[in-house]
Amino acid sequence: MENIFKYLAGNWRGIGKAEYPTIETAHYIEEMVINDNNEIENAVSYLQKSWLAVEGKKIKPLSWETGFIVRKTNGIYELVNSNKGGRMEFFSGSLAIISSMYCLDFFSKNIINDPRIKKTRRKFRFDENCLEYEVYMQTTKVSSIIKHLVAVLNRV
């Protein structure tokens, strides 16, 4: 199996959009560092930070998250993360290739320390120069899983 993590490893920066029925729509600047630690061939670690953006400028910090993406022996991928607010999530997903981009599609299996969140889904599409993602969420106030975040990051 090809090591897709070589395409993810590196520094990324871009713009995203947050929207959800319970918040005001906002744009954000995001920076992400993904480490392919060479010592562990089936995993990468990441650090992701975002800031509220107005006219392309950072206004205030929004989110800070860290985690791991792990390829299991059975072709399943796992995503484990924690954010600065204390929420931890465990996802399970799969890999596909669509229009010459790698696509990881993760569904939440366990969400800890945030009773508001009922279900989440994360979809990543990437190649050697572009990383796109979408985050979907179901909460105690919104009964169906709908899009919350979308971003396009470029390698820097």
Q: Which domains, ranges and CATH numbers included, belong to the chain?
A: 5-155 (2.40.128.20)
Cβ of 95: how many Cβ atoms within 10 Å? 16
Name the helix (H) or strand (E) containing 37: none
- pLDDT of res. 74: 87
- pLDDT of res. 37: 73
Flag whether the pTM goes above 0.85.
yes
**Phi/psi-derived region of residue 22, left when phi > 0, alpha when psi is between -120 and 50, beta in every other case:** alpha
- pLDDT of res. 73: 84
Q: What is the dihedral of CA 35, 89, 53, 128, to 10 degrees?
A: 30
- pLDDT of res. 1: 56
Q: What is the pLDDT along the chain (156 residues), one digit of tens a residue?
A: 578 898 999 999 999 999 999 999 999 999 999 998 766 778 999 999 999 999 999 999 999 999 999 999 888 999 999 999 999 999 999 999 999 999 999 999 999 999 999 999 999 999 999 999 999 999 999 999 999 999 999 999
